Amino acid sequence: MSDRGVWWVSLATEFVTYRQVKVRKVVAQGWPQLGDLSDIVGLASDPDNRSQFETVIRERAAEVYGSSSVELDRAPGSLWRLLRIQAGDLVVAAQGTTVVGLAQVPRSGWEAYQFEERFSYAQAVGGPVEWIDWSFVTHGPSPAAPRRLLGVKAIGEARERILDAWTRWEDANE
């Protein structure tokens, strides 16, 4: 079994499309109002810094969204996981419960961070990321994303199926 990370990334259709992240060649999340996080991105290089990173994000979120916003709970963990994606990890993009694409990340999130304020999904990591439409990865049905997928989340149950699909795609494209 591979020890590479395999991640879900949700793409909320009211803010972003799969085509947009594919053209931008990024893995992205929202929260443009938090601004450029370059000053704290380096914290993500060390897993021991999670609490410090999330505290800073929570403070910034309270300033821009208000102290009772749900973003105070959502943004810190999701942005931490986005930046903790490692070089070689696989990312599966989902719109709702529909899997739309798969990519291997060439550089770790904290090394490839980008902030593009003109996009709703402004917080991004690149490298660049080459997205493969799921229909090209496998002819079988795609795994269903979790019903309440928000942000970035490690893949559990479907992990081996996605690793197998990636291996088949690599073998067919050598």
pLDDT score recorded for residue 139: 47
At 123, give phi and psi (nearest 5°): -85, 115
pLDDT score recorded for residue 102: 93
pLDDT score recorded for residue 145: 73
For residues 122 and 89, the answer to whether their CB atoms sit within 8 Å is: no
Q: Is the pTM of this model over 0.85?
A: yes
Beta strands across the sheet bearing 123-125: 27-29, 123-125, 113-115
What does the pLDDT profile of the chain (174 residues) look like in tens digits?
467 899 999 999 889 999 999 999 999 999 999 999 999 999 999 999 999 999 999 999 999 988 777 777 889 999 999 999 999 999 999 988 888 999 999 999 999 999 999 999 999 998 899 999 987 555 456 776 767 777 788 888 888 888 888 888 888 887
Query: Tokens for 45?
Result: 């290089």
* Distant-in-sequence, close-in-space partners of 110: CB < 8 Å, separation ≥ 6: 41, 42, 43, 44, 45, 83, 84
pLDDT score recorded for residue 142: 74
pLDDT score recorded for residue 1: 45
Domain boundaries, the chain: 6-172
**CA dist 85 → 61, 100, 118, 141, 174 (Å):** 22, 19, 23, 26, 25
